A and B are shown apart, each in its own frame.
Chain A
């Protein structure tokens, strides 16, 4: 069926509605990501960026719409049991804003855990793969360190390596720039661009306008639970007249955590 053909959507979200009790956070969101795209999902704090990511990885139930990741479709209602999500887990990786590295395992074992236990890979092979991923992200010297011994930037790169371990076509990153200084932000952008060039599809939430303009191929601006604007970063982030985008631009250089 569909592979990583550039014209086939790796992610397609249609009419996504999501509510926390009576408060509706997403009110009909439509997103379509082609293979190999690097898309920045932008918006002010509380716009629902993180909720979109959490819905895609089936951590949050939604009330209406569909989410299709590389042929696997999630429907409204309670989150399915983990046994029914196995196919989805192979298709999408998630890097949390707080990283959520497994605190009791060294960096390398954080990366090998899913390889050995979810994919059934040989331990030695999993370790080779983990080391090459950590190497590519320039954290292999920290492979034996526990998460609490890592700096914020190191922890983030280990978390990326962990999410990439099972080789999912789609990678989600929640606010990866939030706690990075400008130099680290550049490095991260470079690494993500390289992943994208290698065929990976990236959906990154951020409210860092410079980062999005610099590295993303496409920008989606969320406001009031809906897609306010979508398009080329240069166009959207320079000449937009949309009030939501205006507010986002005025908030610069705010790279606050949401």
Chain B
């Protein structure tokens, strides 16, 4: 009876998952379409603008004297725009890589936080005219300034940058012929620290970021020849053309009357390049540099897009699988040792292990990953992959050890006594009787943890590892939409976790079923 109902449940599980996925995709498409077609909202007396306070000076940062007040050149440009529209600026904090999604959702009217003009953004979002021209520059250790002048000099080396940026796209495009490894970071501070410590041989980022980092990290040198020229723009939701055109007019007016020049000079980012750039914009009336016409999304066809990103997603899924399996193996091994130590060890061993378990369970795994990768870097410089695997493994070991300890203690005393009367030693009893019986009890919660591990492995992107979620977010940044990458990414995770749950269920059943 139990067997029958089980197989019936199993038989509709896969179709059910497919239906769920399809409906998820459908709902997302509908929502996206609805948002696209939505009429521009009525204009409030404030201009809500979004920026990333973590971007820091000179873009947007909390004023150290009063952290509730934002300052930076983006803040001042946004304020100038608001005032030009006859409104008051209202700042909405947002994480940098979510600016497009957030503005599309209607959280704010315009995103301004060193937002780059890119083909993808131009195709899917609405952009203002550019208000700043930056360059992508190559920063190396001062000792290497003569050796690493261009990307071509960095064959076989590791170059870091901020993920999902123009710099990242530039490196990805160039890495083929030049044969270097691109390392993607989630922030723009750690690449320079890793450059100094030797984990990287170069960093490619915006000149403003490079200049700032050179002030904070000593011993670096930025090559004077720019690799590429880019522009900061305000990003707005499609359908908001009327407001966008008024903002463009305000921006041009502020260029003409020198307001922008004063702002940029105040923040030390004014240079000869800006003068030439602004003069050209003023002369052309804002036209010619970026597309200001109707920016309808370019439909390349879903299949073509999927086909283009599928290989990268497969590779990233491979990284996710390898890190999850490796970390789980480590967690199982260490977890078993901890559990055995807590049961068989003396009071001191047991207390020390309990301390470890509470420390690992009581602090965020993200913090632990940072400590292992950056905190320990001064005495052991682990590669990102190994730091991720070890970090996740040691964290999960704490949870596994609790599972094993409970399972070991749940093995009936009579089993152990019978083994003792047969003359087995304590280690033999653990290995031959207690361990195997406990393992069966531990299997269901372990499977659960393995599925969690698959998903938690996305955290290691903070250590520059490009796994599934990171690859999907790169995909999203390049294509300007999260819909397709999100659905694909979710499908990959399900494709990994469903069979795992299935295998575990089979194992459980087989061990419970007659073997005769």
Interface contact A149-B423, CB-CB below 8 Å: no
Q: Is B11 an interface residue (CB 8 A)?
A: no
Q: Is A162 an interface residue (CB 8 A)?
A: yes
Interface contact A146-B514, CB-CB below 8 Å: yes
Q: Is A239 an interface residue (CB 8 A)?
A: no
For the side of the interface on A, what is the size category? 20 to 34
Interface segment among A33-41, A89-97, A131-139, A218-226: the answer is A89-97
Beyond A104-B436, A146-B515, A149-B516, whether A59 also contacts B417 by CB under 8 A is: yes
Determine which residue in A92, A104, A162, A165 has the highest number of CB atoms from chain B within 10 A of its CB, and name it. Answer: A104
Q: How far is B417's CA from A223's CA once the two chains are assembled, in angstroms?
A: 26
Cross-interface CB contact of B515 among A82, A102, A113, A144, cutoff 8 Å: A144
Q: How far is B434's CA from A113's CA once the two chains are assembled, in angstroms?
A: 13
Q: Is A114 an interface residue (CB 8 A)?
A: yes
Q: How far is B419's CA from A59's CA once the two chains are assembled, in angstroms?
A: 11
Cross-interface CB contact of A82 among B418, B420, B437, cutoff 8 Å: B420
Interface contact B437-A117, CB-CB below 8 Å: no
Main secondary structure of the interface of A (DSSP, over half): loop
Interface contact B516-A89, CB-CB below 8 Å: no
Interface contact B423-A166, CB-CB below 8 Å: yes
Interface contact A100-B436, CB-CB below 8 Å: no
Q: How far is B419's CA from A101's CA once the two chains are assembled, in angstroms?
A: 9
Per-residue 0/1 for B399-430: is the Cβ within 8 Å of any A Cβ (1 yes, 0 no)? 00000000000001011011111111110100
Which residues of B (190-216) have their CB < 8 Å from a CB of A? none
Interface contact A106-B516, CB-CB below 8 Å: yes
Q: Is B227 an interface residue (CB 8 A)?
A: no
Beyond A104-B436, A145-B516, whether A113 also contacts B417 by CB under 8 A is: no
Cross-interface CB contact of A89 among B414, B423, B436, cutoff 8 Å: B423
Per-residue 0/1 for A77-94: is the Cβ within 8 Å of any B Cβ (1 yes, 0 no)? 000001101100110111
Q: Which residues of A contact B420 (CB under 8 A)?
A: 59, 82
Q: Is A125 an interface residue (CB 8 A)?
A: no
Q: How far is the CB of B165 from chain A (nearest CB, A)?
A: 55
Q: How far is B511's CA from A86's CA once the two chains are assembled, in angstroms?
A: 32
Main secondary structure of the interface of B (DSSP, over half): helix
Q: How far is the CB of A238 from chain B (nearest CB, A)?
A: 35
Which residues of A (114-147) have their CB < 8 Å from a CB of B? 114, 117-119, 144-146
Q: Is B440 an interface residue (CB 8 A)?
A: yes
Q: Which residues of A contact B281 (CB under 8 A)?
A: none
Measured CB to CB, the nearest residue on chain B to A115 is: B422
Q: Which residues of B contact A102 (CB under 8 A)?
A: 415, 418-419, 433, 437
Determine which residue in A89, A98, A117 has the highest number of CB atoms from chain B within 10 A of its CB, and name it. Answer: A117
Q: How far is B433's CA from A104's CA once the two chains are assembled, in angstroms?
A: 8
Interface contact B424-A59, CB-CB below 8 Å: no
Per-residue 0/1 for B462-479: is the Cβ within 8 Å of any A Cβ (1 yes, 0 no)? 000000000000000000
Q: How far is B417's CA from A89's CA once the two chains are assembled, in angstroms?
A: 12
Q: How far is the CB of A58 from chain B (nearest CB, A)?
A: 8
Interface contact A166-B514, CB-CB below 8 Å: no
Q: Which residues of A contact B418 (CB under 8 A)?
A: 94, 96, 100-102, 162
Measured CB to CB, the nearest residue on chain A to B440 is: A104
Q: Which residues of B contact A24 (CB under 8 A)?
A: none
Beyond A106-B515, A145-B514, whether A90 also contacts B417 by CB under 8 A is: no
Interface contact B421-A144, CB-CB below 8 Å: no
Q: Is A57 an interface residue (CB 8 A)?
A: yes
Measured CB to CB, the nearest residue on chain A to B427 is: A82
Per-residue 0/1 for B490-515: is the Cβ within 8 Å of any A Cβ (1 yes, 0 no)? 00000000000000000000010011
Q: Which residues of B contact A94 (CB under 8 A)?
A: 418, 421
List of 7 A-B pairs having minimum Cβ-Cβ separation, nearest first: A89-B423, A114-B422, A100-B418, A118-B423, A100-B414, A94-B421, A144-B516
Interface residues of A (CB under 8 A from B): 57, 59, 82-83, 85-86, 89-90, 92-94, 96, 98, 100-104, 106, 113-114, 117-119, 144-146, 149, 162-163, 165-166
Add 13 more A-B contacts to A86-B423, A118-B422, A146-B514 (CB < 8 A): A82-B425, A92-B421, A102-B419, A102-B433, A104-B436, A106-B516, A113-B422, A114-B424, A117-B428, A118-B425, A118-B428, A162-B422, A163-B421
